[in-house]
Amino acid sequence: MPIVNGHDEALAALRGGAEQLCSPAYAACHSGVGYYVTLIEELQRAWPQPFTFVVCCGDDAAQAHHAMAMGLKHIRYTGNQAMLPALQSMAGTLGVTLVTA
C-alpha cells in the first residue's frame, strides 16, 4: 500500500493502479484531521473509481476519535490497548474500519 501525503502523490499512486493508500505514520497528528478530510474529498472528485485511504493517528486515541467524528472511514491506531474497546465501539457505530496492525 503506497504511503502518500499529498494530492499529486496520491493521484499518481491511483493512476498507477493502487486501490488503497495510507498516510505517513502519525500524519493526523502532524497535518491535522481536516487536512486529510479535504485531501480525500479532492481525490474522490478527481478519481471517480473506488479507493481506500487509511489515515494514521499513531498512538493518539483522542486523534483517532476526532478522525472518526470528522467522518474519516479508515483509520490506523497503534496506541494503548486499553483504549481500543471504546474506539472499536465508536468505529462500529460509525461504519469506520479501524486498523490496529
pTM of the model: 0.93
Q: CA 4, 9, 15, 16 torsion: positive or negative?
A: negative
Tell whether the model's pLDDT for residue 41 goes beyond 90: yes
User: What per-residue confidence (pLDDT) applies to 6?
Assistant: 94
pLDDT tens digits for range 13-36: 999 999 999 999 999 999 999 999
Nearest-CA neighbor of 13 among 46, 56, 58, 36?
46
